[in-house]
Amino acid sequence: MKIDVQRESGIAREIGQHEVSLGAIKENLELYKESLRKSWDADETIHMTHAMELIQTSIGRVASSLRAIESDIISTANTIRQEEDAKEAAEIAAREAAMKQLKNSSHTK
């Protein structure tokens, strides 16, 4: 059974949607951080905004990984399909060559 490239690409795109969701979360965190800076003037604000920046950095790394995974899944599925198609073509050619050889050997007898 051949790999279903469309199915695998769909799964990959679902993973890509998580990357989009993380981007929105990162944006919302940025808005919250800016609001916090504007509305609260305390030493703790520095620590909280720093923690939020670390979280944003982590979110960015995860989003980047998801993007790479999406791309890898699609690329791998296409490569597997090409290999399957090439193997099938080689098998067909080998069968045809065997049939031709069998036909030629039966004519020479």
CA–CA gap between residue 106 and residue 109 (Å, rounded): 6
Give the chain's domain count.
1
What is the spatial distance between Cα 48 and Cα 34, in angstroms, rounded to a whole number? 11
pTM of the full predicted structure? 0.75
Residue 109: pLDDT above 80? no
| CATH number (domain holding residue 49) | 1.10.287.1060
| Domain extent at residue 80 | 5-107
58-108 confidence digits (pLDDT tens): 999 999 999 999 999 999 999 999 999 999 999 999 999 999 998 888 766
Neighbour count for residue 1 (Cβ, 10 Å): 4
Cα–Cα distance for residue pair 45/50, rounded to 1 Å = 8
